[in-house]
Structure 1
Amino acid sequence: MDFLLLDDRANLKLSIIRKLEQKYSFSERKDVLCEELTISQYLLEHSVLEINEDLKRFELIEGMELLEQNNEIILFQDAQVSSSVVEEKYLKFSLEFTLLQTIFFNQFTSIKKYGEKHGMSRTVVYKIVDRIRKELVQYDIKLSKTFQLVGNEMKIRQYFNMLYYRIYKDSDELYNQSDILSVNELLVATKRYCEEVNTFYLFKHYLFVMLERARRKPNYFLSSKFQSADFDEEKGLYQTIAQWSQQTLNGTNREREVEVRGILSQLSVHRIELCTLENEVVKTYRKQLEQQFLKYPQLKLSGSEFCNSVDKVIYQHYFISPLLDITMRVMDLEFFHERYPIIFEICHTFIYQLKEEEFRFSKKSLFLNLLLILSQQYDQESEMNTINIHVSFTHGEKYNQFIQAQIQIFDSFSINFQPVIRPDTDLIVSDYLPKTTFSARSLIWLAPPRASDWRNFGNEIVQINKALQLNRNRKKK
């Protein structure tokens, strides 16, 4: 799904930063970057200048800067800044988001007045509005002639809930003080039922969005047709939220009742006991996932814990947070592919086989969350495959011990060092090619090892780990 609140220029500049972040030396030749990004050298150099100006405007220049040196672009970056932080700044200050925000808070009066206020021509404002319309229509949300948001009320709230969470995370700077006080009152009142409620930032943004929508017009309340779990109205959590709703919202009893159910529904993202997991839709998708597991009988994942964890993720993505992909940053999932190759393949096949309309706006998040819960359960229930390595350098035992200590940084894998080459040796790391009749893989390193040596080592470990997971579990000896 296209994300149209960032224009092509911002996306290009983010791509340049991300490319450099992924390089071992945080640098790359200009011609290589141009080829990878399919741009001219002039556009690359001009974009680098713009990025640095943007970083100054975002007050991030102390933590990140791009420099040209000979024929290379070099990224200087400290531990407090990343491309994700820069992306949030680009989004927060984009023309599209700024205008959309005025629409959401009912502050947009006309294209002419908005253009005059912000020093833009009507043509420019029209183009921004057009991009916003194209962004919203993907989620079946429209803008009326008077620039009101039109569509399913929960979907409108979900969109802005996810968007504001993506940009503001744990900050409430966007909202007015009276709403902040109201939300904090509810969080304090519900703390006795869920102590960690203050850290449910996605839930907090929903409350802010709900208050803003409900105060505008009566028809901005949730429809009485809103479907949610059948919550027990006698329980204290329901009563607490209902009491807060009565004090805060000006709707009818029926409208407030539906809003309470909407709040509880959003809270169920964090509280499994509020989810209705006994659901045919959930069972159907879980069975589809289980079919993939049948192809790999060596996996031990099964039982009620497996079912509950998977059911919860499916339930939340299907019923509660169907637009969750809006919150997703660009992610590199290569770690999961390397560390858990079978689970990665299972989840990838499951997602790939879903129809386009199934989890249409939450496939990426569903994929990631399935990877998270299944990899955690795999670690709990399956003994980690041990990779046997023999290290032998001509520099002697002290140097061998030094290399072994460096290899231990690969703590995601279970590594056992063998003093001699044996039939179960998986990998030999050396600066010469030892003579052996066994079938162990070999790597020849320089001393000390280069970045490319470590890269080759990582590739070998990944391949060995995958072979062990596919074929057998071998105990450490």
Structure 2
Amino acid sequence: MDFLLLDDRANLKLSIIRKLEQHYSFSERKDSLCEQLHISQYLLERSIIEINEDLKRFELINEMELIEQNNEIILFQESQISSSIVEERYLKYSLEFTLLQTIFFNQFTSIKKYGEKQGMSRTVVYKIVDRIRQELAQYDIKLSKTFQLIGNEMIIRQYFSMLYYRIYKDSDELYNQSDILSVNELLSAIRLQCEEATNFYLFKHYVFVMLERVKRKQNYFLPSDFKSADFDKEKFIYQTIERWANHTLQGTNREREVEIRGMLRQLGVYRMEFCDLENVRVKKYASQLKEQFLLYPELMLTGQEFWDSINMTIYQHTFITPLIDLTLRVIDLDFFYERYPLVFDICQTFIYQLKKDEFTFSKKSLFFNLLLVVSQQYDQESEKSTINIHVNFTQGEKYNQFIQSQILIFDSFSINFQPVVHPNTDLIVSDYLPKTTFSARSLIWLAPPRASDWRNFGNEIVEINKKLQLNKKRM
């Protein structure tokens, strides 16, 4: 899905920052950046100027700045900031989000009046509205002639909950003071049973959005395909939310009950007891995933607790956070690919086999969260595959010890150093090729090693680790 609340210029500027951020030296040649981004040098240089102006406007210039030096662009970045923080600022102050926010809070009256207030021409406002319509249309949400949100109420609430969570995280600055007091009152009440309630930021945004929707249109809803595992009215959590709803929400008892159930549903993000793990769709997807596990019996991932976590993850992405991909930042999955190659292959194959209309707006998040669940279980039930390495440089033993200490930086892997080459040696790191190597792989390094030497070493370790995981029983 395209995210249309950031225009092409903002996306280009973010791409420049990310390219530099990912480079180990935080710098890149202009011609190389232009080639990677498919832009002219003029556009690159103009974008650098704009980025620094934006950082000043966002009051981030003391933490991040881009400098041109000869033929290079250098990123100066403090440890308290990243491209993700800059992205949040671009989004928060974008014309599209600002206008959409006025629509959500029912403050948008007409294109003419909005343009006059913001100092924009009607043509500009029409273009912004058009981008917003395109953005919302991806989720089957429409704008009426009077700029009211029309569509599936659950999807509307999900969309704005996820959007506001993406930008504001634990901040409630967006909402009015009376709603803030009301939601904090609810969280204080449920904290007696849910100690972590103060960290339910996604839940908080949902309740804020729900209050706004109810206040504006009393648009109550109950998805026809939804069932919770815990709607017991005798339980403390239900009664606590019910008391809060009775003095907060307008409407009939039936309408309030629907909203209570909607809130309990949202707590399923954090608490398993609010998830229906016996749901037919959950069982179907869990069965498909289990088929992939059966192809790798050496993983031996079993246990009810593990499969409950899998089922909960699937349930959440199906029913509770079906639009969760809206919150995603750029994620680098190389760690999982290198450290858990079999787990990565299993989860990736499962995701690829899903139909286009399955997990349409939560597929990426589902993939990432399955990786987290399965890799944690793998670490609990499996010993790390030990990689045997022989290090021998002509500079002598002290230099060998120095290289070994540097190699131990790769602490995600279990590494054993061997003083001599054995039949079970996996890798030889040296500045010459020893006569006796058996079947070990060899790397020839300069002294001291270059960045390319370390890159080659990392690639070798990844390949050896994958081979060892496939063949657990070393001969």
TM-score range for the pair, normalised by the shorter chain length: over 0.9
**Helix, strand or coil: the match of 1:145?**
coil
Alpha-carbon displacement from aligned partner over 1:29-48 (angstroms, at most 9, x marks no partner): 11111111111111111111
**Helix, strand or coil: the match of 1:24?**
coil
Q: Separation in 2 of the partners of 1:82 and 1:176?
A: 29
What corresponds to 1:427 in structure 2?
427
Shift of 1:148: 0.6
**Helix, strand or coil: the match of 1:308?**
helix
**Helix, strand or coil: the match of 2:76?**
strand
Alpha-carbon displacement from aligned partner over 1:402-440 (angstroms, at most 9, x marks no partner): 111111111100001111111111111112222214121
**Helix, strand or coil: the match of 1:171?**
coil
Q: Separation in 2 of the partners of 1:110 and 1:127?
A: 14
Stretches of 4+ aligned residues off by more than 6 angstroms: none
| Greater mean deviation of Cα atoms: 220-229 or 24-33 | 220-229
Shift of 1:252: 1.4
**Helix, strand or coil: the match of 1:28?**
strand
What corresponds to 1:379 in structure 2?
379
What corresponds to 1:222 in structure 2?
221
Q: Separation in 1 of the partners of 2:222 and 2:270?
A: 24
Shift of 1:473: 4.5
Q: Separation in 1 of the partners of 2:296 and 2:202?
A: 36
Q: Separation in 2 of the partners of 1:224 and 1:83?
A: 37
Do the aligned partners of residues 224 and 300 (structure 1) sit closer, same or farther apart at CA in structure 2, a change above 3 Å counting?
closer
Shift of 1:274: 1.2
Q: What is the one-letter code of the residue matched to 1:221?
A: Y
Q: Separation in 2 of the partners of 1:115 and 1:473?
A: 70
**Helix, strand or coil: the match of 2:332?**
coil
Q: Separation in 2 of the partners of 1:463 and 1:411?
A: 16
What corresponds to 1:365 in structure 2?
365
What corresponds to 2:337 in structure 1?
337
Q: What is the one-letter code of the residue matched to 1:170?
A: D
Residues 128-207 of structure 1 mapped to structure 2, 5 A cutoff = 128-207=128-207
Check conservation: 2:222, 2:262, Cα contact below 8 A. no
Do the aligned partners of residues 329 and 473 (structure 1) sit closer, same or farther apart at CA in structure 2, a change above 3 Å counting?
farther
**Helix, strand or coil: the match of 2:310?**
helix
Alpha-carbon displacement from aligned partner over 1:419-474 (angstroms, at most 9, x marks no partner): 11111111111122222141211112222222221111111111110111112245
Identity of aligned residues (%): 77
Q: What is the one-letter code of the residue matched to 2:221?
A: L
Task: Give the length in aligned residue pairs.
Answer: 474
Alpha-carbon displacement from aligned partner over 1:134-153 (angstroms, at most 9, x marks no partner): 10011111101000111111
Q: Separation in 2 of the partners of 1:364 and 1:474?
A: 35
Alpha-carbon displacement from aligned partner over 1:71-109 (angstroms, at most 9, x marks no partner): 111111111111111111110110000000000111111
Alpha-carbon displacement from aligned partner over 1:237-266 (angstroms, at most 9, x marks no partner): 100100000011111111111000000000
Q: Separation in 1 of the partners of 2:35 and 2:316?
A: 41
**Helix, strand or coil: the match of 2:269?**
coil
Q: Separation in 1 of the partners of 2:369 and 2:398?
A: 44
Shift of 1:271: 0.4
Q: Separation in 1 of the partners of 2:26 and 2:58?
A: 21
Q: What is the one-letter code of the residue matched to 1:76?
A: F
Q: Separation in 2 of the partners of 1:395 and 1:320?
A: 60
Shift of 1:223: 4.5
1:38 aligns with 2:35: no
Q: What is the one-letter code of the residue matched to 2:312?
A: K
**Helix, strand or coil: the match of 1:421?**
coil
**Helix, strand or coil: the match of 2:299?**
coil
Q: Separation in 1 of the partners of 2:137 and 2:461?
A: 46
Shift of 1:299: 1.2
Shift of 1:226: 7.5
What corresponds to 1:111 in structure 2?
111
Gap regions ≥5 residues in structure 2: none
What corresponds to 1:58 in structure 2?
58
Residues 275-314 of structure 1 mapped to structure 2, 5 A cutoff = 275-314=275-314
What corresponds to 2:404 in structure 1?
404
Check conservation: 2:157, 2:210, Cα contact below 8 A. yes
What corresponds to 1:261 in structure 2?
261
Alpha-carbon displacement from aligned partner over 1:366-405 (angstroms, at most 9, x marks no partner): 0000000000000111111000111112222122111111
What corresponds to 2:20 in structure 1?
20
| Greater mean deviation of Cα atoms: 203-212 or 435-444 | 435-444
| Greater mean deviation of Cα atoms: 70-79 or 134-143 | 70-79
What corresponds to 1:241 in structure 2?
241
Shift of 1:224: 7.8
Shift of 1:200: 1.1
What corresponds to 2:468 in structure 1?
468
Q: What is the one-letter code of the residue matched to 2:337?
A: H
Q: Separation in 1 of the partners of 2:72 and 2:431?
A: 32
Q: Separation in 2 of the partners of 1:201 and 1:260?
A: 18
| Greater mean deviation of Cα atoms: 368-377 or 71-80 | 71-80
Q: Separation in 2 of the partners of 1:319 and 1:473?
A: 41
Q: Separation in 2 of the partners of 1:236 and 1:293?
A: 39
What corresponds to 2:391 in structure 1?
391
Do the aligned partners of residues 473 and 375 (structure 1) sit closer, same or farther apart at CA in structure 2, a change above 3 Å counting?
farther
Alpha-carbon displacement from aligned partner over 1:187-237 (angstroms, at most 9, x marks no partner): 01001111001101101111111111111123x222485833151011111
Shift of 1:6: 0.4
Q: TM-score, normalised by structure 1?
A: 0.97
What corresponds to 1:417 in structure 2?
417
What corresponds to 1:450 in structure 2?
450
**Helix, strand or coil: the match of 1:19?**
helix
Q: What is the one-letter code of the residue matched to 1:271?
A: R
Check conservation: 1:383, 1:473, Cα contact below 8 A. no
What corresponds to 2:317 in structure 1?
317
Check conservation: 1:386, 1:474, Cα contact below 8 A. no
Q: In angstroms, what is the RMSD of aligned CA positions? A: 1.3
**Helix, strand or coil: the match of 2:442?**
strand
Shift of 1:26: 1.2
What corresponds to 1:349 in structure 2?
349
What corresponds to 2:273 in structure 1?
273
Check conservation: 2:226, 2:319, Cα contact below 8 A. no
Gap regions ≥5 residues in structure 1: none
| Greater mean deviation of Cα atoms: 433-442 or 148-157 | 433-442
| Greater mean deviation of Cα atoms: 179-188 or 224-233 | 224-233
Q: Separation in 2 of the partners of 1:445 and 1:76?
A: 31
**Helix, strand or coil: the match of 1:391?**
strand
**Helix, strand or coil: the match of 1:215?**
helix
